[in-house]
Amino acid sequence: MLSVVILGTGNLAMHLFRVFSATTGAQVVQVVGRNPESLRSFSEQVATTTETTSIKDADVYIIAVKDDAIAGISHQLNKKNGVVVHTSGAVGMDALTPENRGVFYPLQTFTKGKHIDFGKVPICIEAKEEQSLTLLRSLALTLSQNVHEVNSDQRKKLHLAAVFVNNFTNHLYGIGEEICEKEGLPFDLLKPLILETAEKIQSMSPKEAQTGPARRNDQKSIQDHLKLLNNDKHIALYNLMSEAIKQVYEKEL
Amino acid sequence: MLSVVILGTGNLAMHLFRVFSATTGAQVVQVVGRNPESLRSFSEQVATTTETTSIKDADVYIIAVKDDAIAGISHQLNKKNGVVVHTSGAVGMDALTPENRGVFYPLQTFTKGKHIDFGKVPICIEAKEEQSLTLLRSLALTLSQNVHEVNSDQRKKLHLAAVFVNNFTNHLYGIGEEICEKEGLPFDLLKPLILETAEKIQSMSPKEAQTGPARRNDQKSIQDHLKLLNNDKHIALYNLMSEAIKQVYEKEL
């Protein structure tokens, strides 16, 4: 069984702790955090410490903290034998100082208190040493069947793509909610459409799935919509999105 | 049992025909289309005609055709007693010429060959006559428990909101796919994230669910991302989206 120390007490640390606790192939032997208050939710189930001098020996050290704190914490693990990984999409592997380093990046959005089926979460792994890569693959496979070797440059692009499909998409949902609220309509009206839009591309390329006025270059509908908008940012987004969609399909029209 | 004539043979007409066939409260008595070829997929199961002079009597006439063809077709139904409705989000009720008119707008994206659970689809109804509204509500309730009275102005705004959460969101998925493909990574890596992003807002406001560099006003991550992009439209979208998100949250920061 692989032993794991988790460094961090935030959202991802909690999700990882929960899911490792439910597997048989790996065991979290300690959770390390600066804040005793935040450690409290772990301390009934596992050893915890606030002292970086008291970190246990383990096969894998998973640093699950904010991007700008990764390098500093990794420095505390320079003398450990296990592989030290971070969990960030945006940070290169070499931000870690220990020789035996790698990355363990679960590509998903984690919400406090919301259950995630980890078995489907893509886990992107990278390691400096070949045998550490093998070890990280074994560890990842205890959580998910969806394990991929992804290098630091690719992972940064993947993280960028995630910003488009997650952060920016969520902002579009927010605009939808705002439009509904102004009309006294429940945002619930849009929820089945939102879900179906996401489900559709599970089995169909987004390029193929695209519909709407911009795809058809239907200028009348586009102008009618623009007249209904009165938020400058929404108008600018409508125009830019429509231009971008038209550009993709103009050769077909 | 309510009798229905469907005018149109496209995607929505097919979905409506299929779902009415599975209900007990309503029956499609005829499908009307201009193109004999397109009518063929209905003709084994129901009466069909290409002649607008041969349209049967029914309680409800559902016009499911392209927006710009709605008015012309409705004119052929001026002498009918049943209620004449269209199914468009973007067209006002009064584009229809018959006195007894209304709207029956299922707010969903319909894909050829892809099953939709109609029981959850919001159906937005409107009618000129009070008793026709009651009739349309009964008809809608044979298909879905999610029936709402929505007037023409509200419906146009709802349709606009749908463009943001469906068409524009799908374009963001397309950008995600493009970024993956350029890195030689499977788009599959982003699919669980896309689904979770849509699932999250089923029980949480998008405003509350927002994450990412723009929400935190994390300029370093934003600049790092911009350096990775080389498509001008993607750069413009990244900037505009980030500005729009920052604007929503700047008071909190």
Q: Say yes or no to pLDDT of A167 above 90.
A: yes
Give the pLDDT of residue B96: 98
| pLDDT tens sequence across B54-64 | 999 999 999 99
Give the pLDDT of residue B217: 92
Q: Say yes or no to pLDDT of B219 above 90.
A: yes
| pLDDT tens sequence across B11-37 | 999 999 999 999 999 999 999 999 999
| pLDDT tens sequence across B107-159 | 999 988 889 999 999 999 999 999 999 999 999 999 999 999 999 999 999 99
Q: Say yes or no to pLDDT of B253 above 70.
A: no
What chain A holds in terms of domains, given with CATH numbers, is: 2-150 (3.40.50.720), 155-249 (1.10.1040.20)
Residue A81's nearest CA partner among A59, A55, A62, A103 is: A59
Under 8 Å between Cβ of B195 and A202:
yes
CA distance B116 to chain A (A): 8
For residue B229, list chain A residues with Cβ-Cβ distance below 8 A.
160
Pairwise CB contact (< 8 Å): A211 & B166: yes
How many Cβ pairs within 8 Å bridge chains A and B? 297
Give the pLDDT of residue B120: 95
Q: Say yes or no to pLDDT of A252 above 80.
A: no
Q: Say yes or no to pLDDT of A117 above 70.
A: yes
For residue B146, list chain A residues with Cβ-Cβ distance below 8 A.
192
Picking from A146, A154, A228, the nearest residue to B157 by CB comes out as A228
Give the pLDDT of residue B251: 72
What is the 3 state secondary structure string of chain A? CEEEEEECCCHHHHHHHHHHHCCCCEEEEEEECCCHHHHHHHHCCCCEECCHHHCCCCCEEEECCCHHHHHHHHHCCCCCCCEEEECCCCCCHHHCCCCCEEEEEECCCCCCCCCCCHHHCCEEEEECCHHHHHHHHHHHHCCCCCEEECCHHHHHHHHHHHHHHHHHHHHHHHHHHHHHHHCCCCHHHHHHHHHHHHHHCCCCCHHHHCCCHHHHCCHHHHHHHHHHCCCHHHHHHHHHHHHHHHHHHCCCC
Picking from B109, B164, B199, the nearest residue to A176 by CB comes out as B164
CA distance B129 to chain A (A): 22
Give the pLDDT of residue A16: 97
